[in-house]
Every structure is written in C-alpha cells, then in structure tokens.
Homo-oligomer: A and B are copies of this chain.
Amino acid sequence: MAWFRQVSALKKQHHHINHPFSLLSYLSHSHYTTEAPPTQYAGLGPTRPEEKPRVVVLGTGWAGCRFMKGIDTNIYDVVCVSPRNHMVFTPLLASTCVGTLEFRSVAEPIGRIQPAISREPGSYFFLSKCTAIDIDNHMVHCQTFTDGVDTLDPWKFKISYDKLVIALGAQPSTFGIHGVEEHATFLREVYHAQEIRRKLLLNLMLSDMPGISEEEKRRLLHCVVVGGGPTGVEFSGELSDFIMKDVHERYSHVKDYIRVTLIEANDILSSFDDRLRQYATKQLTKSGVQLVRGIVKDVKSQKLILNDGTEVPYGLLVWSTGVGPSSLVNSLTIPKSPGGRIGVDEWLRVPSVQDVFSIGDCSGFLESTGKPTLPALAQVAERQGKYLAILLNKIGEAGGGHANSSNGMELGQPFVYRHLGSMATIGRYKALVDLRQNKESKGLSLAGFTSWFIWRSAYLTRVISWRNRFYVAINWLTTMVFGRDISRI
C-alpha cells in the first residue's frame, strides 16, 4: 500500500535525526525555555517520567472540545493549540445572523469547557496555528495568531507531546469556482455570522437611500444561498422568518424588494427522508424562499453566473456547499482516507505512527478497517471526542500515558458510530426530525411544530454551559416578545 511505504520512509528518517530537539535547554519546572537564542525555537520540551504526560490537542471544534471536556486532568496535562479560544455551537450559528440569538450565546470559551487549561501549571491554551507536525520527534510547530493586531511580532514555538489529538476540522470548499473566496461569505465561524448580519443590515439601509434605482434595490436586497444542506436550509428559513416579521415591521419602505434564493445542484437536504424533504421544499416555498436547481460557474462582485449562463444579481451571497481538508491536513504525509481526510483505525489512531490520534471532520476511517468514512457532522465529532477521552484516560491509568509507552496495550472496544438522527429547522416554528439510522433504513421522521419544539429543546440541553443555556433561552424569549435586534454594531 502506498501509505505504508510513506510511513516506512518516515520511520527511517527518524533514526537518522536522533532528537534534534534536545539541543534546546528546557527548564524542568516551568516547562519553558528562557532566553531562547533567536535562531532557535522556544517551546515546551518533552515531559520527564516523573511528570504528568502531556496530551496536545489541535483545534477547538466539536471534536477537540468534547475530548478536552472528557480528559482526566489528574492523569494528563492538556495543551490546546487553536486560532480560536472558544468553541462555536455551529447548529445555532444560522440563527445569530438575523439576531434571533446573540453571537456570544453560541460561543463557549475553552476555559469553561476545561478549566484546568487556565489553572494547572502544565496545561495551556495557545492562541496559535499549528504549522507542521513532526511525527518522528513527537513534536508540533506553532506560530501565534494575532489576526492583524500588531501587539506582538509573530512568535514561533514547538511543543513536544506524549499523545497528539488532531482535531483540525475542515474548511469550506469552493470547488475551485472563481470569486467565491472573494465575494461570498461562509457560515462556519462567529465572524462569518457577524459579517452576514452587518452586510444584511447595511443592504437594508442602503436600499432605502434616495434615488437608488428599482433594479439596484432589488439587487441589494437579493439574498442568495448556495448549497441546500442543513446549514443553507436553516439559514434560508431564518432569513425568511426575519423578512416576514422584522423587515415588514421595521423596514417597511423596502419590504417588497427583499427576496431569498436557495441554489442547489441536486435535492435539498439530501440526507433526509423523502417525505421530510418534500415537506421542507413546500414550507420554504411557502415562506417565499425561491428554490433554484443550478450549478454556479463564476462569482463576480455583484452577480453570480450559473452553468446555463443565467446571471443572478445579489446583495448578499452565502456559500455553504460542503467542506474539504484544510491545508495543514493536505500537507501531512500520513495515510489518508477517501476524500483526503487523515486515515484512522478503529480506535481513532493514525496507524503505524506512535501516539497520534485524529477525530472530527479532519479524519476518516482507512479503507483497510472496512468502515465507511463518516459524514462531517457535529454529532460524529462529538461522539469521537468523547470516545477518545475515555480511551486515553484508560491508557493513562494503565501507565501508558507517556510517549512510546502504550505499545501492545489492550485498547478494548473500537469506536462505533450510531446515528441518532438529523434535525433541521426551516423557519416559522417548523423543523424536521429524522430519527432513522441511515438513508436506507426505516424509522421515525417528524415534521412541523412538534419537531420544532423538539429541535429547540434538544439544542437547549446540548449548549454546553449553564450560562449559555440560560442566554439561549433568554434570547429566544426576547426575540418572541420584542422582535429581533437590528442594531448594526
């Protein structure tokens, strides 16, 4: 097998290099190098046998955060590396774009998910990007992520790990279509939702300026969503709710110009039951969402062009057509599963390399395991994070926490994914709940107000901290009583 050859090559290299990291001087107490020479990296050196083993987590999505929540910090020191200091409760992100929920209600700081990370002397959160993984030396290379603020020059450092959990997630895929990155907005992060909200409110106000032509008004207030998966459908539903209630009341000058179009190459909500799909199509059409079957060929600053040559002028363009591997995952020379995801075995280990695990959207089962690559869903990531925390706790308890010390250990039950069903809201107090195990099997599926109620309740109990549960409930309540917030801040 191709990947096996690569791994053997890596292993050979390992013996030649012979721990170059030991060139650095480490302070045993603080784990820190002080006054690292400018040509070398600073960092956290390898742990010593009498110290707690260190588990390094790359990423703060569903997988990484669920893992950190479950890991036993009496056994391990936890070091997390991510450009984002919070987890985003992605299923509710669409609701924040129109002000149904507040941004902060769907963001959970890491320090609240795993308090040890800001308290324990050997546990850290580093606001950084991982730039390379040195599997041979049990080490990751990182660089600070300041997002344009010039408070500190870029700072590079290395971290030695005993166990490495790669939970880097995925990135939105543009399928190489020209102009998407430049003109469209994705919907994966809080700042995406903020951008959508600001643009939507801006367009509502700009379309009311004196002398703007009818055509320009229609363009500014045309919201186009590309991609008919749950995110695209939920966002379209929220948007049509916002239009029917809040725009009609508060932007009455321009209410007749605003429209929502959802473009999808195939069926919307393709993973859902046929009956639910028809229900969703009917409901969305009823709420004024125009469903267009088409493939986007090109995106320009104020219009997009479909494969059949149709030009679609827009004021707001939201892109949610699916995800693909991030550039770091692409650059890794380790075995991959179909779709370019990091290949893992039944215990979520990267096979043939020591102490490396991968969970969430960035990973998939290797073909040799006979298991299918799982869908890039929050549900899968969350279950894998939970499983891996239990597995590593067990390994640590059995004394296998340190690097290269868990060889031949009995790992117990492999990871098995049981689909608990899919949910999606389609606006107007209506939602879909599909409780079937998979596309082919039979099972319960619900649509309408009851499932909308289930949908809200389910999310309310899943939003991680009590603080955010409380805020989400309060947000929903005030949206019902006072309407949505429309200040553009």
Chain A interface (Cβ within 8 Å of chain B)? Answer: 31-36, 41-44, 84-86, 102-104, 107-109, 111, 115, 118-119, 121, 124-128, 144, 146-147, 149-152, 155, 157, 159, 190-191, 194, 198-199, 201-203, 205-206, 208-214, 216, 220, 249-253, 301-302, 315, 465-467, 470-471, 474, 478, 481-482, 485-489
A157 / chain B contacts, CB cutoff of 8 Å: 209-211
Contact across chains for B208 and A124 when beta carbons are under 8 A apart: yes
Counting every copy of the chain, the complex holds: 2
Pick from B146, B191, B201, B253: contact of A489, CB under 8 Å: B191
How distant is the Cα of A225 from the Cα of B201 in the complex, in angstroms? Answer: 34
A159 / chain B contacts, CB cutoff of 8 Å: 210
Contact across chains for A127 and B489 when beta carbons are under 8 A apart: no
Contact across chains for A32 and B211 when beta carbons are under 8 A apart: yes
Contact across chains for A205 and B125 when beta carbons are under 8 A apart: yes
The smallest C-beta distance from A473 to any residue of chain B, in angstroms, reads: 11
Contact across chains for A85 and B205 when beta carbons are under 8 A apart: yes
Give the residue name and chain of the B residue nearest to A158 (CB): B210
Contact across chains for B124 and A253 when beta carbons are under 8 A apart: yes
12 A-B interface contacts by CB (under 8 A): A86-B487, A86-B489, A102-B104, A103-B489, A109-B485, A118-B250, A119-B249, A127-B205, A151-B202, A151-B302, A190-B489, A194-B489
How distant is the Cα of A201 from the Cα of B301 in the complex, in angstroms? Answer: 34
A109 / chain B contacts, CB cutoff of 8 Å: 485-487
Contact across chains for B152 and A206 when beta carbons are under 8 A apart: yes
Beyond A44-B210, A125-B205, A127-B202, 18 additional contacts (C-beta under 8 Å) are A32-B210, A33-B210, A35-B213, A42-B212, A84-B488, A85-B488, A102-B102, A102-B104, A107-B487, A108-B487, A115-B250, A144-B209, A146-B206, A147-B202, A151-B302, A190-B489, A191-B489, A194-B489
Which 4 A-B pairs rank lowest in CB-CB distance, beginning with the nearest? A42-B211, A86-B487, A127-B205, A467-B482
Q: A102-B104, A149-B199, A315-B151 are in contact. Are A206 and B485 (CB under 8 A)?
A: no
How distant is the Cα of A127 from the Cα of B254 in the complex, in angstroms? Answer: 15
Give the residue name and chain of the B residue nearest to A42 (CB): B211
Give the residue name and chain of the B residue nearest to A109 (CB): B487
Contact across chains for A104 and B489 when beta carbons are under 8 A apart: yes
Contact across chains for A43 and B211 when beta carbons are under 8 A apart: yes
A35 / chain B contacts, CB cutoff of 8 Å: 213
Pick from B111, B191, B253, B470: contact of A478, CB under 8 Å: B470
How distant is the Cα of A85 from the Cα of B252 in the complex, in angstroms? Answer: 16
The smallest C-beta distance from A482 to any residue of chain B, in angstroms, reads: 4
Contact across chains for A144 and B206 when beta carbons are under 8 A apart: yes
Give the residue name and chain of the B residue nearest to A314 (CB): B151
Contact across chains for B485 and A128 when beta carbons are under 8 A apart: no
How distant is the Cα of A315 from the Cα of B149 in the complex, in angstroms? Answer: 11
Pick from B211, B302, B315, B481: contact of A155, CB under 8 Å: B211
A42 / chain B contacts, CB cutoff of 8 Å: 209-212
